Amino acid sequence: MTEAQKTFADQKRKTVETAEFTEDGRYKRKVRSFVLRTGRLSDFQKNMMNDHWADLGLDYQNAPFDFAAIYGNSNPVILEIGFGMGKSLVDMAEANPDKNYLGIEVHTPGVGACIAYAVEKGVKNLRVICHDATEILRDCVKDGELGGLQLFFPDPWHKAKHHKRRIVQPHFVEQVVQKLQPNGFIHMATDWENYAEQMLEVLSANENLVNTAEKDYIPRPDFRPLTKFEVRGHRLGHGVWDLYFKKK
């Protein structure tokens, strides 16, 4: 397939996988919190991305997004990082028309599946991005603009030597807090107890956040849809830990 023959979706996959280099041409290795598992983008998912990106997709830009113009209203924007195949994110957007949802996912088949489900449900208050979340937060979101941040079942990087790759680190939480409105929330969930403990430690250490739980974790709230992954975990006896902090 030549460059001219590539569709938008094909180009998006290439963009996500592009290596980064320094000004003098050396490869620049970053410690990332995700692995580029592009998988096979089905023809259906590809068509959904190609046909509906103008309405449901956003591209990285080196300037803050104008959310009022993008969504056509001033409702609070809830950012979800790593939405997987997107079903729970679309369900939340459908159930909460008074909020705007922005999802970030680097797995292109998941992006295509999310767009397809959003089209099926007729959801209008959702936009998706296929890019590194830390760069989106840094360059595309104004300080004090987000109503909340959702991070559900991020990669646990369960080996101790890989814990530095976990997205929940003090610098990441500080970046998120900077982007939150006063009283904005951070909602995280994981089925790895060790990661839950790390999340609790990092969030509790930020002086601008308050834990809403009576004791460390909250019961799973009804407004967070159960995922197939989570239902399977329950059947296997896995625990799930939800954390809900608010900005002072």
Amino acid in the structure at residue 31: V
Amino acid in the structure at residue 23: E
Distance in angstroms (rounded) separating the CA atoms of residues 79 and 146:
7
Distances (CA, A) of 123 to 14, 71, 89, 100, 102: 28, 12, 11, 10, 12
Amino acid in the structure at residue 161: K
Q: Determine whether the annotation assigns residue 38 to a binding site.
A: no
Residues pairing with 152 in the sheet: 189
Q: Determine whether the annotation assigns residue 91 to a binding site.
A: no
Q: Determine whether the annotation assigns residue 80 to a binding site.
A: yes
End-to-end CA distance of the chain: 53
Distance in angstroms (rounded) separating the CA atoms of residues 93 and 118:
9
Contact 60, 146 (CB under 8 A): no
The backbone torsions φ and ψ at residue 133, rounded to the nearest 5 degrees and listed phi first, read -65, -35
| Active-site residue, selected from the candidate residues 51, 55, 91, 155 | 155
Q: Determine whether the annotation assigns residue 155 to a binding site.
A: yes
Q: Determine whether the annotation assigns residue 105 to a binding site.
A: yes
Q: Determine whether the annotation assigns residue 230 to a binding site.
A: yes
Q: Determine whether the annotation assigns residue 135 to a binding site.
A: no
Q: Determine whether the annotation assigns residue 143 to a binding site.
A: no
Residues pairing with 49 in the sheet: none
Let me know if 155 is a catalytic residue: yes
Which segments of the chain does DSSP mark as H helices, in order?
A: 8-17, 43-56, 67-71, 87-95, 108-121, 133-140, 170-179, 193-205, 228-235
Binding residues for substrate: 159, 191, 227-230
Binding residues: 80, 105, 132, 155, 159, 191, 227-230
Binding residues for S-adenosyl-L-methionine: 80, 105, 132, 155
Enzyme catalytic residues: 155
